[in-house]
Homo-oligomer: A and B are copies of this chain.
Amino acid sequence: MKELVKRIRQFAKERDWVQFHSPKNLSMALSIETAEIMEHFQWKTTEESRKLDEETFNEVKDEIGDTFVYLLRLCDELDIDPLQAANDKMLKNAEKYPVAKAKGNSKKYTKL
């Protein structure tokens, strides 16, 4: 993953794009890419979304690639380690959603 982070930073540097890469702008780019993932699923049933044809699968994979690229670029600019951020947040999520209360239940923790 560290190599990928460097590769993405290098890509931006070569194109003189770091000037555009404020956290604000990157958060917009990240959100736009996730909308492009959703675009493939919006009219599908949940069942259909589990069995994609090859063409759609490859398009979704590309959008996931772009999403990960912007997530890593944002983390790089903010000096955040995404693995640590996710692991730390999982601890908080475990407290918000104890198994006994959350089992089989999709409600938000504020409504459990």
Which A residues fall within an 8 A CB radius of B? 1, 4, 7-8, 11, 14-17, 19-20, 22-25, 27-32, 34-50, 52, 57, 60-62, 64-69, 71-72, 74-75, 77-78, 80, 82-83, 85-90, 92-94, 97, 99, 102-106, 108
A64 to B67, CA, bound (A): 12
The residue on B at minimum CB distance from A69 is B86
Q: How far is the CA of A59 from the CA of B51 in the complex (A)?
A: 33
Whether B37 lies near A31 (C-beta < 8 A) is yes
The 26 sampled A-B contact pairs (Cβ below 8 Å) are: A1-B83, A8-B90, A11-B90, A15-B105, A16-B103, A17-B102, A23-B60, A24-B45, A24-B48, A27-B34, A31-B34, A32-B39, A45-B46, A61-B80, A61-B88, A62-B88, A64-B71, A64-B78, A64-B80, A64-B85, A65-B82, A65-B87, A65-B88, A65-B89, A68-B71, A69-B90
